[in-house]
Amino acid sequence: MDFRDTPDEAAFRTELRAWIDDNLPGGWRDRAPTSGRMDESVSRVWSKKLYEAGYAGLTWPKEFGGQGAPYTHQAIFLEESARAETPEHIGIIGLGMAGPTIIAHGTDEQKSAHLAQTLSGEEVWCQGFSEPGSGSDLASLRTKAEDAGDHYVVSGQKVWSSFAHIADYCILVVRTDPDVPKHKGITYLLVDMHSEGVEVRPLVQITGDPEFNEIFFTDVKVPKSNVVGEANAGWGVAMTTLLHERGTLGFALTARLEVLVGKLIALATETGADADPLIRDRVAQQWIELQALKFTNYRALTTLMKTGVPGPEGTIAKLHWSESNQRLGKLALDILGVRAQLDNEDSDWSGFWQYQQLRSRGNTIEAGTSEILRNIVAERVLGLPRSR
Amino acid sequence: MDFSFTEEQEMLREQVRSFLASEFPPERIAELAESGEGWDPESWSTMAELGWMGLSIPEEHGGAGMSFLDECVLFEELGYGLYPGPYTSTIGVALPALQSAPAVLELIASGRARATFAGAEPNGARTIEDTDRMTTSAEPDGAGWTLTGVKEPVADLSIATHVVVSATAGEGSGLWLVEPEDNEVTQLGTVDTTRRMGRLTLEAHPATMLVAPGKGDHVLTKIRRRSDAALALEAVGVAQKVLELARDYVSERKQFDKPVGSYQAVSHQVADTYVSTELARSLAYWAGWSVAESTEDADRAAAAAHSMAGEAAVSACERSIQVHGGTGFTWEHILHRYYKRALSILQFNGTPAAQRAAVAATLLGQ
């Protein structure tokens, strides 16, 4: 057991830190802590810089534009990016979900068409999994794809799709055979979002932001060369996507929480709330939970490096992070007290904490509801009898 | 970055687990918990022969010269097996004060001595570092010293041969070593009868100075740090065991023709226990490593781990009792003994809130 960086890790960290310092957009460090919302144009520029410097897709194989680096480098990258509060890569879905799925199940043609383009940020991805009638029960999905010889004709509706309004491609799961058990008639497609018949409508959330979208597909032609894996074998491919969603998520989420805990401490100090023993207790608890998440991620990393198989820690991290993040938002509002009711420019921190708190309510729903994750822990990790 | 125990440490874990499983099955623990002495002195010699007492004691004093991290494996496994004996008191708490007493270290390594630390007082000091309110005093007496005062509660006092006592003299607080007489030791009624508490009453009792008056703070900090980490590991062992008991029970027990573990109202409680146990484990290992390496963060790592692991162990026991239904609430079932140990760990050396206050001071200033 040794929590220190190895000489190789330390060298990577030092080099990365210097690179971030040199490359952050001008005035970035002095910007007001206004909101947690992504700035698309800044992210596009940052994504390109990351790619050119070799920091996008660190763990991806070299042949696909990655670095073939160990997972510890990716962890260090996320830590240092969070510490410097850098912009985010535009391709969150592409890097975390679409890319790894194409690497695992895609054809050579698909790999050369999409992987490097995803890393550089030229190609932005969205995810078309959930539907109005299919949330946690994903396999009940009804968006259909009809066989038309060399292509499919896709019709249906997807929902909760981040980045769809700027996406070039969508990882889409569709029903290709309605006459077999529900898991067996699903196909996984890569769909060009600029195709005729694709319509994206923003879905306004409780924050007032249209972060998610609805996607309507009306007779959209998708070439069969865009099938990932085999026709009607898309369920297994989708599981790869979800495994990666939760597997790589732990570090990114924890890194983001680390930034927020730092801001929370600043808020408590500047408001004088740090004199209140009850607030102090809650701030300490947030910090302790952050450390627990961080070291649980390290433990997951050790398991992954030693066995090659991700352990159940990703699910633990997502479950606990979501609840910890929600508590943090409410603690910030308690610190602001009566002024927490103000918003936007009229509030302290320009509505930052009000936005964080409202946004956090989605955390226990998105990427697997907490109820579904508890089922996964109970049934797949602990081996309890199935609930359905 | 490497977050795993070595192969040797994993072998040690296996060895401890199988020793406790064969020597201390639930009925044996119940028998000892309800006996007058509260433990099995034979086990102490066996454990010393297996080399577990001297793991971190230097080789020149009869130990193995290994690290606190090796002992961490023991703390966790002894929690898992609910070992009734003064291992944590001796190795997890008292040891740092005995560095200036090599003869005692040798006795401990060979299994001939058991130590504990006496800091708390009935109307004064409550925690290890709480020396401001301490009333026990040390007086020079020729070449040696004498101690006068009352210490309570002192863990494992009635089965300890050597007691490290904190007291004040002219220049401030220090530490002394005492070998109490029977009439100075009163065993007190305790909730957790596998870790009993006692009262030590000293009246001008001869004592050997371990740490000079005014120099004690540094060692007290070391003791607190080490005991926080040791107790966090023990708590993780407790939580892991009651999680397994819950998992096994709800998989077997049927109501309405289905295993109760198939109902989400039950299974989600077990899942939550798993999550909080794993999070606490991560903190406890971090604390163990930080203490072993004396890193800058060791104090707050240990305090953070003790607070979270203590609470995780208590809630793990409470959920386990709940999902066992009436069975879990009976005297006959082992669960209440784990629960009482968890409660004892939670309050040992200050509440979780006090530990969080210490963490808060590092984040927000005093």
A253 falls in which pLDDT band (50, 70, 90)?
confident
Q: Indicate where chain A has its CATH 1.10.540.10 domain(s).
A: 7-120
The 3-class secondary structure across A236-289, one letter per residue, is HHHHHHHHHHHHHHHHHHHHHHHHHHHHHHHHHHHHCHHHCHHHHHHHHHHHHH
Is the Cβ of A372 closer than 8 Å to some Cβ of chain B? no
Q: Is A245 part of the annotated catalytic residue set?
A: yes
What residue spans of chain A are helical by DSSP H? 7-23, 40-53, 71-83, 92-93, 99-105, 108-120, 234-271, 277-307, 313-336, 352-360, 370-376
What pLDDT does residue A302 have? 85
Q: Indicate where chain A has its CATH 1.20.140.10 domain(s).
A: 238-381
B41 falls in which pLDDT band (50, 70, 90)?
very high
- Chain A positions touching B315 (Cβ under 8 A) are none
A136 falls in which pLDDT band (50, 70, 90)?
confident
Cβ pair B1:A265 closer than 8 A: no
Residue to substitute from A136, A281, A295, interface B, most B β-carbons within 10 A: A295
| Topology (CATH level 3) of domain A238-381 | Butyryl-CoA Dehydrogenase, subunit A; domain 3 (1.20.140)
Cβ pair B363:A313 closer than 8 A: no
- Chain B positions touching A379 (Cβ under 8 A) are 267
DSSP per-residue string spanning B293-335: TT-TTHHHHHHHHHHHHHHHHHHHHHHHHHHTGGGGGSSSSTH
Residue-wise pLDDT tens digits, A264-306: 999 999 999 999 999 999 999 999 999 999 999 988 888 888 8
Is the Cβ of A272 closer than 8 Å to some Cβ of chain B? no
Q: Which CATH superfamily, name and number, covers A7-120?
A: Acyl-CoA dehydrogenase/oxidase, N-terminal domain (1.10.540.10)
Map out the domains of chain B with their CATH numbers: 7-113 (1.10.540.10), 116-211 (2.40.110.10), 218-364 (1.20.140.10)
B246 falls in which pLDDT band (50, 70, 90)?
very high
Find the farthest-apart pair of alpha carbons in chain B and give their distance in angstroms, rounded: 78
Locate the chain B residue with the closest alpha carbon to A297: B282
Q: Indicate where chain A has its CATH 2.40.110.10 domain(s).
A: 125-232
Confidence (pTM): 0.94
Average pLDDT over residues B29-58: 96
Spelled out in words, what is the top-level CATH class assigned to the domain A125-232? mainly beta
Cβ pair A288:B307 closer than 8 A: yes
Is the Cβ of B67 closer than 8 Å to some Cβ of chain A? no
Cβ pair A377:B271 closer than 8 A: yes
Interface ipTM above 0.85:
yes
B275 closest CA partner among A245, A3, A292: A292
- Please, is A231 exposed, middle or buried when counting C-beta atoms within 10 Å of its C-beta (0-12, 13-18, 19+)? middle
Q: Which of B2, B69, B359 sits opposite A302 (nearest CB)?
A: B2
User: Given A245, A258, A289, A313, which residue is catalytic?
Assistant: A245
Q: What is the DSSP letter of B198?
A: E
Range with lowest mean pLDDT among A178-182, B211-215, B346-350: B346-350
What pLDDT does residue A18 have? 97
The 3-class secondary structure across B8-73, one letter per residue, is HHHHHHHHHHHHHHHHCCHHHHHHHHCCCCCCCHHHHHHHHHCCCCCCCCCHHHCCCCCCHHHHHH
DSSP per-residue string spanning B204-217: EEEEEEEE-TT-HH
Residue-wise pLDDT tens digits, B89-128: 999 999 999 999 999 999 999 999 999 999 999 988 888 8
